[in-house]
Amino acid sequence: MSFYHTNLDIKLCDITNICNIQNSNFDIDTKFDFFVRPDIATKSDLTFFSSIKYTLKTNANYIITNKNLCKNFSNDKGILVSNNLECDIAKISNLYYRNKTKDEISKLGKPIIGNNSTISKNTIIENGSTIGNNFSLGDFSTIGHNCVIGDNVNIGRNVSITNTLIGDNVNIGDGTKVGQNGFGFAYDEKYIPIKIFHIGRVIIQNGVNIGVNCTLDKGSFNDTIVGENTYIDNLVHIAHNVVIGNNCAIAGQCGFAGSASIGNFVQIGGQTGVGGHIKISDNVKIAAKSGVIRDINKGETVMGYPAININKYLKNYKKTMM
C-alpha cells in the first residue's frame, strides 16, 4: 500500500546531475532503490544526514551529507558531500517520488467498507481504501486513495482525509483536513524555494477526538502521529512529523511546528505555539497563549513567552506590576 508513486532505477549519475556534489569519484551506474530516512534505509537505499541531533547509524551504503558532518562516518560508506544539503534533499525527493495520477488511482481496487456504515451521497471515497464497521461520513467529505480506517469512526462534513491511517473509535469534526502536504522546502543557490516531496503519513491512533477546522499535515520522511485517547480542540494546526502522545488535551488555536514531540498526559492551553523540533515530556502543563521555544522537562508547568516555570513567570510578572 502506497500513497505515492516511486520512480525506480535511479542511479548515482541521476543524483549528481541535479545536485551540487563536491565529490563524484564513485561508480555513476550505482543504483538506489529508495531515498528514505537513515533508520529505515537498507544497503541498497540512499539516505541523508543533516543534523547531529539524530542517530548516525544506518544500513545504507551511500549517504548524502555536508562537509561538516561527513567526518562522522567510516570509510566503508559512500559519502556524497553536498554544498547545499537541504536543497539537494528536496531535489532528490522530487526525483524519486510524485503523486499518483488519476489513471493510477483508477486502477486500484474498489474501496472496502464495513457493515452498518452511514455515508452521505455527495461524498468521495477513492479506490484502495479500507474502512471498518460502523463508519459515518458526512456531506461533501473525501477519503483519499489507500487510506485505512478502523471501526466506529465518525467523520463530519467537509472533511478531507488523505495519506492517513486511522484507528478505532475516532471522531473528526467538520472542516478538518488531514494528510495534506507539510510546509517543508529548501532554498537553492538563487534563493528560490524548492518543495520537499513528503512521503510520510498521518497516523491517528485509537480513541482520538479532533475538533472542527483543524489541519494535520503528513510527514516529510517520518510520520505525523496522534496518540491514543488524545483530545484536540477546534482550529489546531499540527505540522509535518509532529508526534503527540497518549491522553493529551490540546485547546483551540494551538499550533505545532514541524517535528515537535509531545509526551503523554500533556495539557496545552489555547493559542499556544510550539516551536519546531521541541521536545515536551510527559505530564507537562502549558498555560494559554504560551510560546514554547525550548524543551520542557517531565511534570513541569510553564507559561509565557518564552515559556518558563509558572512560579518564576508569576513572580517576575508581579515585579513588573508593582
Residues belonging to the active site: 240
The CA-based dihedral angle spanning residues 100, 97, 53, 229, taken in that order and rounded to the nearest 10 degrees: 10
Contact 296, 308 (CB under 8 A): no
Contact 85, 101 (CB under 8 A): no
Look up cell 537541504; give the residue: 86
Look up cell 537505499; give the residue: 45
Give the whole-angstrom CA distance, residue 92 versus residue 16: 10
Alpha-carbon distances of 88 from 50, 72, 97, 127, 204, rounded to whole Å: 11, 20, 14, 34, 31
Instruction: State CA 68 to chain mean position distance.
Output: 27
For the record, the C-alpha cell of 243 comes out as: 508526534
Give the whole-angstrom CA distance, residue 56 versus residue 308: 32
Give the whole-angstrom CA distance, residue 149 versus residue 139: 18
Give the whole-angstrom CA distance, residue 288 versus residue 18: 46
Query: Does residue 306 have a cis peptide bond before it, meaning omega lies within 30 degrees of 0?
Result: yes
Q: Where are the beta strands (DSSP E) in 208-254?
A: 209-210, 215-216, 224-226, 231-232, 237-238, 243-244, 249-250
Give the whole-angstrom CA distance, residue 153 versus residue 169: 5
- Helices marked H in 107-241: none
